[in-house]
Structure 1
């Protein structure tokens, strides 16, 4: 079993879920999953990128003690969705592909980037780096814009 690279604070996942659910707000950056996972979401307006910090917590891990792939996939999905919302419009996931390169045994940093900001379909990528700045996972995705912009073709 891989030991976490950073000391974890004992967190009661039930209390964390209750606290996250106490606020019914559903706005970007402050909705249940973002609060429950304790995500720190920020943006670089000049580069048009998003950064999501995914803190390590033992209750988010698989039996091997590393971050569960579903948690990673959720955080990477959030990085792309928030990126779309910030720089284009609200959008929904059409499809995503993931590649996992190494286990995440500490806090991760996810960088989202626009690849092709289409009028209807947006193509993005998301890269997860471990606490040693090594690439741990890669995702690409297509999103459907909900702002009513239609492709004239």
Structure 2
């Protein structure tokens, strides 16, 4: 596996443009962060997630640096990346309040895209609206670095026993 990976890296380094090499470095730094900090999910490292959780207020916030690797053909953050960030912040907020031995999975996610994802960072916030025995309803918002809201989401998550 190490030889195959080394060949892939060498090929990318040899043939890649400066922009492609910058994107590759961003991804590799994310993997390094995941390994060095023993992060629970690959996505945490890949997206360079920084989390803040306020269990008392039932609020979670994540911030990620933007990089062209996450852009669509128009040069703005791909909507799927925004959706992933919103799903992640909402799920993290829910997991923070669940008792030991329980988790939550997305049942329904509704996103309204409002403005293009541009700038240096994206900040996503989530707040629990309703916490029942079997489901949690939550809202989330995504903001770009100039403070403009780019998306609003609501979601329903099933509570499951691990």
TM-score between both structures, scaled by the size of structure 2 = 0.75
Give the superposition deviation at 1:86. Answer: 0.6
Residue 33 of structure 1 pairs with residue 43 of structure 2: yes
CA RMSD of aligned residues (A): 2.1
Matched residue SS, 2:80: helix
Q: Give the structure 2 partner of residue 90 of structure 1.
A: 103
Higher relative contact order (CA 8 A, sep 6+): 1
* Structure 2 residue runs without a partner (length 5+): 1-18
Give the superposition deviation at 1:18. Answer: 4.6
After superposition, give the CA deviation of every residue in 1:9-50 in whole Å (9 maximum; x if it has no partner). x66444444554563x563xxx10111011111112332200
* Structure 1 residue runs without a partner (length 5+): 1-9, 149-153
Compared CA separation, residues 16 and 131, structure 1 to 2 (3 A): closer
Of structures 1 and 2, the larger Rg is shown by 2
Q: Give the structure 2 partner of residue 4 of structure 1.
A: none
Residue 101 of structure 1 pairs with residue 114 of structure 2: yes
After superposition, give the CA deviation of every residue in 1:48-107 in whole Å (9 maximum; x if it has no partner). 200010211011111221111000100110001111111124200011000000001021
Question: Deviating runs (4+, > 2 A) in structure 1?
Answer: 10-23
TM-score between both structures, scaled by the size of structure 1 = 0.79
Give the superposition deviation at 1:136. Answer: 1.1
- Number of aligned residues: 136
